[in-house]
Structure 1
Amino acid sequence: MSDITEAIPTERRCWSVSWPEYTPVDITPPELRPSALTHHVPEWAEGAPTPADVHDWDQRRHSALVPFERDERGWPLHPHGRTGRTGRNLGRWGENQAADPIVVAGSGRQRRLLLITRSDIGVEAIPGGMVNPDEIAPATLVRELREETGLDLADHQPVILGQDLVDDWRQSDHAWIASTSALFQLPVEVDAVAADDAVDAGWWPFGSLAQLDSEITAAGRTLYAAHRPLLQRALTHLNT
């Protein structure tokens, strides 16, 4: 998947730059449109038809992993600026928190990385997912890993690598993803079985991003572009 903001000129992404002709595309799926939400709210989504129907913006801004502002209507604004998209294709307006466990086995030239094939877009990605309302990111890291690969690392202490915006294909001007990424290091590979949102799970050579790209491409697959910065951060930590 390519950077979805690539159609927005760099000099016009910033919200402070006036652009009266800006007409973002509404990416809201049918099940999240106001008419649908009056009849049924999916369990993964909040029932607010627009950001104006959200009443805890002060709390959301206070707990955000990445600071964000609101416009004159009170609507949240993507921290990186215009995306070319409006509406919501995520569970919440504003920041949606996720957790991405990066699992690496071995060391040196024998180092391997655990990836899944995502069922939604069919690319190789870090196993991970959204933080539930009743949990914190460390718990999500363990839960998502268990759900998507069958791997239980509850007794391992990961290294938190960062909290960053993810250039996810579902983001818009008013709803986006910020993820806590963490590194789990294992001495050797362990069995992983795809489940939940994964259609496959496997280990890949992880000496560098170039090597990973080459191996994935040779297998006729594609690395999820939004996860490249997270993987590079893990490599930097491992090579320090």
Structure 2
Amino acid sequence: MNEIVPAGPRSWSVIWPQYAPVDVTPPELRPAALAADVPDWAEGAPTPTDVHDWDQRRRVALVPFDLDGRGWPLHPLGRTGCTGRNLGKWGENAAADPIVVAGTGPARRVLLITRSDIGVEAIPGGMVDPGETAPAALVRELREETGVDLAGHHPVILGRDIVDDWRQSDHAWVASTSALYLLPATVAAVGADDALEATWWPFASLDQLDAAITAAGRTLYGAHRPLLRRALDHLDRSNEG
């Protein structure tokens, strides 16, 4: 559980001598474990000091970030209450989140998955593979987690933003490219890979989505709420036009 960081000292520009973040590094990413075996989803650097391409990483980052006096990356939004690494890479971990919406008006539906790691309803998606583009990752993740193949569709890119991911720390975080896919009607979807289920939910509004998910005894992933709200805002503006 992240330490609660007050808004005042959250910024890296504020000196906070009492700050004591919790190390969230899992056993498999600690130095001794990495020396013996590097997981296929992670880089082998035990600390950011062991990463030697920070200039390149900063050039291609979705969200600009700084390095501290040690040369360690700093979370663009400030202190998180956590240190260490519980993600594949130090610094920015690029992700892709395809928001698939079917139908219009009261009949509108959104495709969400039940995540296998934390058991909540979320946008299908995941990390961009090395050498992969965000558009390719959007299509791949959707196909892997729901069986829906939208390779021939052209989505609307909604944004490139920091995601309030539960694994983030002061020195490793997730920045996602979110994209909106519009379909005339729902299509067959089945949970696979990192998804326990794939479900079409009512999506005329965020309140309606919340109510449907709650009524089913489930929970909407809080980090994806801003992305879903942005998709709804885009749809509302499009309807006005």
The counterpart of 2:77, out of the listed 68, 76, 80, is 80
Q: Secondary structure at the match of 1:193?
A: coil
Q: Which residue of 2 aligns with 1:230?
A: 227
The counterpart of 1:193, out of the listed 152, 176, 190, is 190
1:220 counterpart = 2:201: no
The counterpart of 2:30, out of the listed 29, 33, 41, is 33
Provide the rounded CA distance (Å) in 2 between the counterparts of 1:203 and 1:43. Answer: 32
Q: Which residue of 1 aligns with 2:46?
A: 49
1:175 counterpart = 2:172: yes
* Uncovered stretches (5+) of structure 1, i.e. residues with no partner: none
Q: Secondary structure at the match of 1:141?
A: helix
Which amino acid is 1:114 matched to? L
Identity fraction in percent? 75
Deviation at 1:16, TM superposition (A): 0.7
Which amino acid is 2:101 matched to? V
Q: Which residue of 1 aligns with 2:65?
A: 68
Q: Secondary structure at the match of 1:142?
A: helix
Provide the rounded CA distance (Å) in 1 between the counterparts of 2:65 and 2:73. Answer: 7
Deviation at 1:237, TM superposition (A): 0.5
Which amino acid is 1:183 matched to? L
Q: Which residue of 2 aligns with 1:19?
A: 16
Provide the rounded CA distance (Å) in 2 between the counterparts of 1:211 and 1:79. Answer: 32
Aligned residues: CA RMSD: 0.9
Which amino acid is 1:197 matched to? D
TM-score w.r.t. length of structure 2:
0.97
Q: Secondary structure at the match of 2:56?
A: helix
Provide the rounded CA distance (Å) in 2 between the counterparts of 1:201 and 1:59. Answer: 36
Q: Which residue of 2 aligns with 1:135?
A: 132
The counterpart of 1:161, out of the listed 130, 149, 158, is 158
Provide the rounded CA distance (Å) in 1 between the counterparts of 2:210 and 2:85. Answer: 31
Provide the rounded CA distance (Å) in 1 between the counterparts of 2:114 and 2:50. Answer: 36
Deviation at 1:30, TM superposition (A): 0.3
Provide the rounded CA distance (Å) in 2 between the counterparts of 1:238 and 1:218. Answer: 25
Provide the rounded CA distance (Å) in 2 between the counterparts of 1:20 and 1:237. Answer: 43
Q: Secondary structure at the match of 1:69?
A: coil
TM-score w.r.t. length of structure 1:
0.98
* Uncovered stretches (5+) of structure 2, i.e. residues with no partner: none
Q: Secondary structure at the match of 2:36?
A: coil
Deviation at 1:134, TM superposition (A): 1.9
